Structure 1
Amino acid sequence: MTEYKKILVVINPTVDHQAALARAVELATKSNASITAFLSIYDFSYEMTSILSSHEREAMRQGVIDQRSAWLDTAIAPFNSAGVAIDSKVIWHNRPFESVINCALEGQYDLIVKSTHEHDKLKAVIFTPTDWHLMRKAPMPVLMVKEHDWPVAGKILCALNVASEDSEHQTLNGKIIEHAKDLATKFSADVHLVNGYPGTPVNLAIELPDFDAHAYNNNIRMQHQSRVECLAQAYDIPLDRCHVEEGLPEDVIPEVADRIDAELVILGTVGRTGFSAALIGNTAEHVIDSIRCDLLAIKPEGYVSPLAE
């Protein structure tokens, strides 16, 4: 069973409503978990204070930390009546994603929770958002929260990779479903499975006159359908909750999530190639920005963050 006993919430200092903290409180009440509200700050004007003495620079830095700590305590206050233990931590660091992962590793947290939103597409090409760094490099699950409720009898969608039969992918598929099943029990939700399979390569149909594109497509679809249904049966998931559709994962996942009105999509990532690149680069942008619900990114067992090496 998957348990979240220690939850690290990344606070957004630019908004009034802390959606990530609200979601973490929901989870904590179901799991008897503790929460740390985490704020990473850095004032770039600090770089330009070389004319100040080291004592004056430190006083300036501490003053900013104290100010943000007071603000954070105020932001947490509305949630204190929920009966969940919430503490706060403010860290001075010029790379937010590193400070979050380092804190999560040092404190042995089970889950990182962060709010997200639609990114400016031009900036997304030039700057790599903290969201993607966290999903790519954090060894523990990362929950990206949008403004979408988790109602009772909702739906959780597991994005599976059944194209590969290697043990790492198979184990990760199982881990994704186990996380979903545990959350489904806590929130009385239904678990659905989704898989996108590739269509017939156009160049094959053109270069090979005798190539039967329809038969090829059917064979690929049936292969994926069979593997998804095997997983469904192994985890007692009704077959009518399996969604196997032609297309790229960044297209299929949001389409199915929207169609069934999912509250949460759970994705796995093991690297930078093939389906496992679902949380890397532009595909991540499409998935995050195209779904209107929360996204939970899961790493395989034994994954070691590059920040921990």
Structure 2
Amino acid sequence: MKEYKKILVVINPTTDHQAALHRAIELATKSQAEITAFLSIFDFSYEMTSILSANEREAMRQGVIDQRIAWLNDLISDLKETQVKINTEVVWHNRPFESVINFAIAGNFDLIVKSTHEHDKLKSIIFTPTDWHLMRKAPMPVLMVKEHDWPIEGKILCAINVASEDEDQLNLNTKIINYAQDLARKFSASVHLVNGFPGTPVNLAIELPDFDAKTYNDSVRMQHEERVQKLALSYNIPVENCHVEEGLPEDVIPDLAIQLDAELVILGTIGRTGFSAALIGNTAEHVIDSLQCDLLALKPDGYKSPLED
């Protein structure tokens, strides 16, 4: 896997406690990487001040930017314990996710790190949060940070899909496990695999009276267990670290993460656009609100962000 050499941290302007920055420092220390603390700000009222000239509005915007630069520099200066190089960048932009992704692409960053929290369910249907945009559209890995620590000898949970023989999906499984094992070496953690499989279709049990639901379920479970264990064996992952559960991934993954007290979940995500993206989302987006630990979302190799078009 590609080493983290340049990490972009999305700063939360509403708090002095920057969980994402602290997590990035942990990663950078293990990888000899440098960090850029990135803050995107915008105030619509400055754009609506029609009595001011364009130059005056620009001066007002720059004044706000300068204030935020000073705040950010003070925040970083308090991190005296770190030897990691931390750069700063403050931009004025009305769409934070676009400014983050464009800056990350232009700067060839290897990883985006951002703190996250539970989103209001209704609002997240109408207004897609920045977190979701980043997971959908950023071509590089995105690490969503919560308040769970990363202790030594922790657990990293890889969400894999063995139901499909599609080459892209198989490659994504490989990428997920490679990232997990690299992080496991750096943090002396153990790697676990999780796979959810669908239960017996209700319509089959209703329409076919002689249908043996238990036998069907056992057969599907066995098939998934064999595939997961075969994959684990190829990466020297112990069989006892393989977890196959009946249910939807968005239910199975958070439940197991809690049972294991995992520090990190790694899964693959594909970009979505249009109406279906707003209403349905994907596994990563459903999982993020249910997790109590960090989430690392990976794109398939060759993925191109719609912002690059």
TM-score tier (shorter): over 0.9
CA drift of 1:50 comes to 2.1
2:196–2:252: 8 Å Cα contact kept in structure 1? yes
Give the equivalent residue in structure 1 for 2:230: 230
**Amino acid across the alignment from 2:220:** I
**Amino acid across the alignment from 1:14:** T
**1:259-281 alpha-carbon deviations (Å, 9 max, x no partner):** 010000001013559xxx9xx62
Distance in 2 (CA, whole Å) between partners of 1:271 and 1:104 is 17
How do 1:72-91 and structure 2 match up within 5 A?
A: 72-91=72-91
**Amino acid across the alignment from 1:301:** D
CA drift of 1:23 comes to 0.2
Give the equivalent residue in structure 1 for 2:62: 62
CA drift of 1:78 comes to 2.1
Give the equivalent residue in structure 1 for 2:255: 255
Give the equivalent residue in structure 1 for 2:204: 204
Distance in 1 (CA, whole Å) between partners of 2:8 and 2:291 is 23
1:197–1:246: 8 Å Cα contact kept in structure 2? yes
Distance in 2 (CA, whole Å) between partners of 1:9 and 1:265 is 19
CA drift of 1:284 comes to 4.2
Give the equivalent residue in structure 2 for 1:8: 8
**Amino acid across the alignment from 1:291:** L
Distance in 1 (CA, whole Å) between partners of 2:220 and 2:172 is 22
How do 1:1-309 and structure 2 match up within 5 A?
A: 1-271=1-271, 281=281, 283-309=283-309
TM-score (norm: length of structure 1): 0.95
1:158–1:267: 8 Å Cα contact kept in structure 2? yes
1:5–1:32: 8 Å Cα contact kept in structure 2? yes
**1:147-193 alpha-carbon deviations (Å, 9 max, x no partner):** 01000000000000111101000000000000000000000000000
CA drift of 1:282 comes to 7.0
1:40–1:90: 8 Å Cα contact kept in structure 2? yes
1:40–1:92: 8 Å Cα contact kept in structure 2? yes
Distance in 2 (CA, whole Å) between partners of 1:303 and 1:285 is 18
CA drift of 1:47 comes to 2.3
**Amino acid across the alignment from 2:255:** E
> Which runs of at least 4 in structure 1 moved beyond 4 Å after TM superposition?
282-285
CA drift of 1:215 comes to 1.6
2:257–2:265: 8 Å Cα contact kept in structure 1? yes
Distance in 2 (CA, whole Å) between partners of 1:80 and 1:226 is 50
Please state whether the residue corresponding to 1:281 is helix, strand or coil: coil
CA drift of 1:122 comes to 2.6
Please state whether the residue corresponding to 1:50 is helix, strand or coil: coil
CA drift of 1:80 comes to 4.5
Distance in 2 (CA, whole Å) between partners of 1:46 and 1:143 is 32
Gaps of 5+ in 2: none
Gaps of 5+ in 1: none
**Amino acid across the alignment from 1:238:** P
Please state whether the residue corresponding to 2:78 is helix, strand or coil: helix
Distance in 2 (CA, whole Å) between partners of 1:283 and 1:24 is 24
Distance in 2 (CA, whole Å) between partners of 1:106 and 1:174 is 27
1:147–1:293: 8 Å Cα contact kept in structure 2? yes
% of aligned pairs identical? 75
Please state whether the residue corresponding to 1:60 is helix, strand or coil: helix
CA drift of 1:129 comes to 0.4
Distance in 2 (CA, whole Å) between partners of 1:67 and 1:74 is 11
Please state whether the residue corresponding to 1:191 is helix, strand or coil: strand
**1:225-269 alpha-carbon deviations (Å, 9 max, x no partner):** 111111100111000000000000010000100001000000101
**Amino acid across the alignment from 1:122:** L
CA drift of 1:19 comes to 0.2
1:2–1:178: 8 Å Cα contact kept in structure 2? no
